Amino acid sequence: MIYLDNAATTLHKPACVREAVAAAFDVMGNSGRGAARPALDASRIIYEARECLARLFHAESSAQIVFTLNATQALNTAIKGLNLHEGHVITTVLEHNSVLRPLYECREAGGSLTIVGCDEKGNIDYDDIEAAVRENTKAIVCTHASNLTGNMIDLGRVGRIAHSHGLLFIADASQTAGVWPVDVQKMGIDVLCFTGHKGLLGPQGTGGMYVRPGVTIRPLLSGGSGIETYNKKHPSKMPTALEAGTLNGHGIAGLGAAAAYIEKTGLDILRERELALMRRFYEGVHKIPGVKLYGDFEASNHAAIVSLNIRDYDSSEVSDELNMSYGIVTRAGAHCAPLMHEALGTVGQGAVRFSFSHYNTEEEIDFAVKAVRELACE
């Protein structure tokens, strides 16, 4: 099997991730629930993971890193907990449904929403973002990279626009965390939402968010906290304020090991490897007759994603054929990115997405190019 669906989840993880999860089963109690060794071991493991992620994202302190089950939970917590329904929000057509659906709910609750469009290559115009600002605008919410085209948004530039108008800036780093550098302070990010099981190479069921000091988010959940038991309200101290209930400690152990692996190996080394494989695939397929690619491959920054269609074939049929006849795993359909497909004119056909990991090999890429060429010639 050749796995080229890493934008959905990374299948191959570092050995240290599996080892950390397995080891946690022998020592991990419930973090913050007691002073015996198992509880303290759990607290230490979670704290070390928090510290590593704080370094990765250049957070002011590890207390600003909150663990969630995934980026979807993080985004819902941020969007709903910042009461964005009370004003106007700006977002883009590049967004995943994990951004769009909570924002649609805000609009239904009385808020207003502007969705910035894109050009034929899927790029936004930053002037359109600034032009969309109103007197009652509360926030800009946008992705770092499209999960369909791989096109990237300059978070630093958006952050400057947001803060020049006194707006909150919420960024979705689901496709970039662990691969592309994200400096929340330099980029002016107020809330960064991320998942653990993609570029961060952690287990599924892990994710989180960074929250800038001074930004208060109403908890999505309240309940058990391990502290302030007699307080009728959930504690307000970070990160406990946004971490009601028992954390996925075993998963966080794996996520912490993965983040340490990225830190030790080097973000730049991992990214350049992925981009070299992506570029090799792109160069192999972009001139094949009948193959249409989506996205801007001339841009200086581009996530390791290539989406394409072959003639007028349904993308699901192409993806199935790649799987059944060639053993190549891809993702077809709409990718939870409806507005991006509408903008590119692929609502009916969908698209076949190839997404790459540093664990892939040149031989796998060349075989995938051969498969696309053969299918295009049928």
* Cα–Cα distance, 192 to 157 (Å, whole number): 15
Question: How would residue 29 be classed by pLDDT, with cut points 50, 70 and 90?
Answer: confident
Secondary structure (3-state) at 152: strand
pLDDT of residue 68: 98
pLDDT computed for residue 210 by the predictor: 98
- Count of CB atoms situated within 10 Å of the CB of 288: 18
- State phi, psi for 353 to the nearest 5 degrees: -105, 125
Side-chain half-sphere of 111: how many Cα atoms within 13 Å?
24
Instruction: Choose among 195, 184, 194, 193: nearest CA to 162.
Output: 184
Query: What pLDDT is attached to residue 229?
Result: 84
Q: Any idea where the domains of the chain sit in the sequence?
A: 2-10+267-377, 15-265
pLDDT band at 15 (very low <50, low <70, confident <90, very high): very high
* DSSP E strand stretches across the chain: 2-3, 65-68, 88-92, 112-116, 137-143, 168-172, 191-195, 207-211, 291-294, 305-310, 328-329, 352-355
Q: Check residue 201 and give left, alpha or beta (phi > 0: left; psi -120 to 50: alpha).
A: left
pLDDT tens-place string over residues 135-147: 999 999 999 999 9
Please state the rounded mean pLDDT for residues 211-217. 98
pLDDT per position as a tens digit, 266-286: 999 999 999 999 999 999 999
pLDDT tens figures, 53-64: 999 999 999 999
Q: What are the tens digits of pLDDT across the range 51-93?
A: 999 999 999 999 999 999 999 999 999 999 999 999 999 999 9
Residue 159 has pLDDT above 90, yes or no: yes
Residue 6 has which token pair?
């890493």
pLDDT bin (cut points 50, 70, 90) of residue 225 is confident
Q: Please give the pLDDT value at position 341.
A: 98
Which residue type, as a one-letter code, is found at position 241?
A: A
Rounded distance, CA 151 to CA 296, Å? 6
pLDDT at residue 176 greater than cutoff 90: yes
Angle of CA points 136, 140, 142, to nearest 5°: 155
In the prediction, which pLDDT does 31 show?
86
Which CATH number is associated with domain 15-265? 3.40.640.10
Rounded Cα distance between 208 and 66, Å, is: 5
pLDDT band at 232 (very low <50, low <70, confident <90, very high): confident
Mean pLDDT, rounded, of the chain: 96
Average confidence (pLDDT) over 227-245: 90
- pLDDT of 228 reads 83
The span from the CA of 68 to the CA of 137, in Å, is: 27
pLDDT at 378 over 80: no
3-state DSSP assignment of residue 346: coil
State the pLDDT confidence band at 227, using cuts at 50, 70 and 90.
confident
pLDDT(32) > 80: no
pLDDT band at residue 134 using 50, 70 and 90 as cut-offs? very high
Kindly report the length of the chain. 378
Question: 91, 99 in Cβ contact below 8 A?
Answer: yes
In this prediction, residue 38 carries a pLDDT of 83
Mean pLDDT calculated for residue range 1-30 = 96
Task: Say if residue 39's pLDDT is above 90.
Answer: no
May I ask the CATH architecture of the domain 2-10+267-377?
Alpha-Beta Complex (3.90)
Q: What confidence category does residue 317 fall into, taking pLDDT thresholds of 50, 70 and 90?
A: very high
**72-81, 183-192, 230-239, 254-263: lowest mean pLDDT where?**
230-239
At 100 the pLDDT is 98
Residue 260 has pLDDT above 90, yes or no: yes
**pLDDT over 90 percentage in the chain:** 92
- Cβ 282 vs Cβ 319: under 8 Å: no
Whether the link from the prior residue into 239 is cis, omega within 30° of 0, is yes
The pLDDT of residue 46:
97
What confidence tier does 327 reach under pLDDT thresholds 50, 70, 90? very high
Distance CA 173, CA 59 (A): 15
